[in-house]
Amino acid sequence: MRPYTALTIAGSDSGGGAGIQADLKTFEEWKVYGMSVLTSLTAQNTTGVQDVHHIPVSFIEAQLDSVEQDLPIDVIKSGMIARKEAAEHIGAWIAKQKVPYVCDPVMVSASGHPLMEEETRAALSEHLFRYATVITPNIPEAETLLDMEIRTERDMQEAARKFVEELGAKGALVKGGHLNGEAVDVLYDGEIMRTYREDRISTENTHGTGCTYASAIAANLAMGRTLPVAVEKAKDYITEAIRHSFDLGSGSGPTNHWAHRKERVK
């Protein structure tokens, strides 16, 4: 019996806390075989992003074709896609795949460095969102994509609804990490609005949180779990990863991808 597999299409983080590195670590923890297509290279550490090099679209396509021609794909997860042309070509490729797709619209690094060109934002909804089983924006990303203010849980619900009913995603998980109070996330799947709550953990070490959360959702979808269950299990996973995050570097340290091992993943 072959293992479950997951393909991440994202940028590289040389500091290892986010991007492709976080995705592959997360897949491994869920016992899902990870594959990767690089979209950008970042010179990055816990203090921020020092430089970025975007991979030519022709080479992104070559990577996609190479994986597709030889390896089975049970789920696709995308992260940093910085350029409009890349979004167009990746979207056209994803449209041909008949597997769940998790779209994490990475726009800005945890340190505040822009990771997406302005014109790419519109390309996300046009070329990627409509194929997504779920998109996973945090509040600043949702505000930018929807041109609205999000200050309350009710606002989060309205944003999730708009992503599905106006921008065409099958599901939307709006993450409330930037609000005060509990760590509340809202999931809308086109029919039911669900809320996931955890106590907020006081730490500055949250580098790679979004990438890790989205990848955990993807891993669970690869295993055949429903979206609500995948989000529930991923929420538990990322909460432990944050609770036991690492004091590494002099900035925002990384989450702990193996923190869950104290309780065996089932």
Residues 116, 114: Cα–Cα separation, whole Å: 6
Catalytic-labelled residue, pool 39, 209, 212, 255? 209
Catalytic-labelled residue, pool 211, 212, 235, 255? 211
Burial class from Cβ neighbours inside 10 Å (0-12, 13-18, 19+) for residue 151 reads: exposed
Catalytic-labelled residue, pool 208, 212, 235, 253? 208
Contact yes or no for 244/261 (Cβ under 8 A): no
Look up 103 and say whether it is catalytic.
no
Look up 224 and say whether it is catalytic.
no
SS (H, E, C) 152-200: CHHHHHHHHHHHHHCCCCCCEEEECCCCCCCEEEEEECCCCEEEEEECC
Look up 26 and say whether it is catalytic.
no
Residues 238, 134: Cα–Cα separation, whole Å: 17
Q: Name the nearest CA neighbour of 67 among 35, 97, 24.
A: 35
Catalytic-labelled residue, pool 25, 175, 233, 235? 175
At 3 the three-state DSSP class reads coil
Look up 212 and say whether it is catalytic.
no
Look up 152 and say whether it is catalytic.
no
Catalytic-labelled residue, pool 17, 171, 210, 253? 210
- Residues identified as active-site: 175, 206, 208-211
